[in-house]
């Protein structure tokens, strides 16, 4: 499923226009993104949680030359599936 499929389903289910459904999805994604930028966590009970994970700086290897390269520390978004979602997917 892609974004346009999701918009169609939300519009039909909630009996709203596709434009309203699109605005809803955009608002949700922007809100989650802003929360993660601040280092926060967003939890949707029964679905899952969006959080930020920190990766430490490390030394890697260039696969072509074998030369060592420095990989800087970074923050990456992660999703932790909720119990209900895990159970539904089984």
Under a CB-based contact definition with an 8 Å cutoff, are residues 76 and 55 in contact? yes
Q: Which residues contact 70 (CB under 8 A, 6 or more apart)?
A: 57, 59, 60
Q: What is the per-residue pLDDT for 1?
A: 94
Ranges of each domain in the chain: 1-38, 40-90
- The pLDDT value recorded for residue 33 is 96
Query: What pLDDT score does 74 carry?
Result: 95
Give me the chain's average pLDDT, please.
95
pLDDT of residue 89: 94
Average pLDDT over residues 66-74: 95
Q: Which residue in 48, 3, 50, 49 sits closest to 24, CA to CA?
A: 3
CB 10 within 8 A of CB 20: no
Tell me the pTM.
0.80
Q: 40-90 belongs to which CATH class?
A: few secondary structures
The whole-number pLDDT of residue 49 equals 97
pLDDT digits (tens, 9 = 90+) for 19-61: 999 999 999 999 999 999 999 999 999 999 999 999 999 999 9
For residues 80-84, average pLDDT: 95
């Amino acid at each position: 499923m892609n974004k346009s499929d999701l918009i169609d389903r939300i519009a039909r289910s909630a009996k709203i226009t596709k434009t309203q459904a699109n605005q809803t999805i955009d608002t949700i994604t922007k809100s989650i993104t802003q929360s993660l930028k601040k280092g926060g966590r967003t939890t949707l009970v029964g679905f899952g949680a969006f959080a930020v994970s920190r990766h430490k700086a490390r030394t890697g290897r260039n696969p072509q030359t074998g030369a060592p390269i420095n990989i800087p520390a970074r923050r990456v978004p992660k999703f932790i599936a909720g119990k209900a979602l895990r159970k539904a997917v089984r």
